[in-house]
Structure 1
């Protein structure tokens, strides 16, 4: 039996009670929003922005943000379940290990195995799984003596995080066959001074400005250290939209850019005399 709650934004300030209207006898456990709205009409909003699901004993099962920010961090893999009995990707530890690379108040979390399988498909039991605290899987908590898989996590952040030191938007490809490819190394070769070598976040939208995560396209690559790629043949009969990308860089990169621009301006002024 599982329970769920639906949340508003910020996550800790607008949160519904837990709901458990069904049990797994018969066809299964059905906690759909439409039925919850009928039974609890004043306790849940009609358009939630996130959902968290646990067993009734509190074991995390799934977390998903229904509102998708365009601002996404890189993947982080700071632990290994074979070395200390757990895979701990807690936000507090990641803050210490990667200062400046994660926003202080993530609004979403995505967890996959290092091979790319979504965490909820692995069958593991999770100790923590939410954007407020991060993620943890403990070997001792697995049934049948199994072990946790090796996981990686990334976070969705408020738009403000991605605007602190932001590049221009880049759109160097079109979604013609095989798709839309906005690879970081290609951009660095074409216009090297305009993007840092190690971005800390990536934003991807269609050229009209819609966040990529809301388009329904599937992405082969969506990573600030590598770039973005959408392949037409992976869209189930559809095609990729035309995308543009923007990177968030360490603040030191923007300081260098400012100094470089000032130097160029000073040189231009001197050339006039």
Structure 2
């Protein structure tokens, strides 16, 4: 049964956008969860509680069916060719994922030309960047340092998950290839972003060319982290202004989504031709809130940690 929740009501569960990474050419249509997590990073929960499948025109594809090899929320969907249509899937995710709006900055700690691999392992990153990454990420995304999505590189990944992080080993590539140089970022639970964060900012509307909530436009405000490197934001949150839904679950594509750059959604890049209206806020290093609270007692500490 489909559930509807009033605006402002805390989500008990949520659905991802419709996802379609494969076509029914070749061996079939494979919308497997492991590949969707790489193709649509931060938009899919690692442990869904339900799955829906339709053709791209919207006709439900219901099990059982002798051409559906896999139809399971923890594995995804597979249709073996012969009579496969082009399918799309979406997942129902638990509460812990539904309210995720907190995304870290990018981290690049390794180079594939120095030790035979590019390893951006969570355990190492937590040691190298203390306080800047949550210990229990909900999502992970990898791109090359030049900005190309990981799935487009053709590299084979040894590790790509929220528990261990990311690793690409040169010896595991076909034809003796070398891994690209990658960077990673994570989505984190609410508790990580709530320690020291700004108020919400909504400086733009989604008129042409789109909705631009750029960091440099607000960094002079006394209510955001300063431009000193020590106090730069460590995470960004973006939600819609109307319902407060996490931006990552809207299906919009984003030109920019970075705590050091801000947020930008371009209308021309959207399937439906228009972005939703968004607002942003930033998580600052804890030392920033402690410094402001100590040096300026006229500024309410609650303004920074989001409890205003």
Could you say which TM-score interval applies, normalised by the shorter chain? 0.7 to 0.9
Aligned to 1:100: 131
Query: Of 230, 234, 250, which residue of structure 1 is paired with 2:269?
Result: 234
**What CA distance in whole angstroms lies between the structure 2 residues aligned with 1:215 and 1:263?**
38
Aligned to 2:117: 86
**What CA distance in whole angstroms lies between the structure 1 residues aligned with 2:71 and 2:226?**
41
Aligned to 2:195: 164
Unpaired stretches in structure 2, ≥5 consecutive residues: 1-23, 33-50, 54-60, 78-90, 301-308
CA distance 1:246–1:27, shift in 2 (3 Å): same
Query: Of 108, 125, 143, which residue of structure 2 is paired with 1:77?
Result: 108
**What CA distance in whole angstroms lies between the structure 1 residues aligned with 2:92 and 2:122?**
17
Higher helix share goes to which structure?
1
Structure 1 position 128, deviation (Å): 0.8
Structure 1 position 172, deviation (Å): 1.1
C-alpha RMSD of the superposition: 3.0
Indicate yes or no: 2:236 matched with 1:206.
no
**What CA distance in whole angstroms lies between the structure 2 residues aligned with 1:226 and 1:179?**
16
Secondary structure in 1 aligned to 2:252?
A: coil
Aligned to 2:177: 146
Equivalent pair of 1:111/1:153 in contact (CA under 8 Å): yes
Structure 1 position 27, deviation (Å): 2.1
**What CA distance in whole angstroms lies between the structure 2 residues aligned with 1:65 and 1:123?**
29
Deviation readout 1:185-232 (Å, 9 max, x if unpaired): 11013x144334310100000112111111111110000111101111
Secondary structure in 1 aligned to 2:268?
A: helix
**What CA distance in whole angstroms lies between the structure 1 residues aligned with 2:148 and 2:75?**
20
TM-score, normalised on structure 1?
A: 0.73
Indicate yes or no: 2:257 matched with 1:222.
yes
Secondary structure in 1 aligned to 2:135?
A: coil
Aligned to 2:148: 117
CA distance 1:206–1:255, shift in 2 (3 Å): same
Secondary structure in 2 aligned to 1:259?
A: helix
Indicate yes or no: 2:27 matched with 1:27.
yes
Deviation readout 1:5-49 (Å, 9 max, x if unpaired): xxxxxxxxxxxxxxxxxxx9962474665689749xxxx997x5x
CA distance 1:264–1:138, shift in 2 (3 Å): closer
Query: Of 258, 264, 267, which residue of structure 1 is paired with 2:293?
Result: 258
Secondary structure in 2 aligned to 1:78?
A: coil
CA distance 1:65–1:100, shift in 2 (3 Å): farther
Secondary structure in 2 aligned to 1:82?
A: helix
Deviation readout 1:124-158 (Å, 9 max, x if unpaired): 11111101010000101111011101111110101
Aligned residues: 225
Unpaired stretches in structure 1, ≥5 consecutive residues: 1-23, 54-63, 266-273
Structure 1 position 263, deviation (Å): 5.5
Equivalent pair of 1:65/1:108 in contact (CA under 8 Å): no
CA distance 1:152–1:144, shift in 2 (3 Å): same
Structure 1 position 114, deviation (Å): 1.6
Aligned to 1:195: 225
**What CA distance in whole angstroms lies between the structure 1 residues aligned with 2:165 and 2:63?**
29
Structure 1 position 261, deviation (Å): 4.2
Secondary structure in 2 aligned to 1:241?
A: coil
TM-score, normalised on structure 2?
A: 0.65
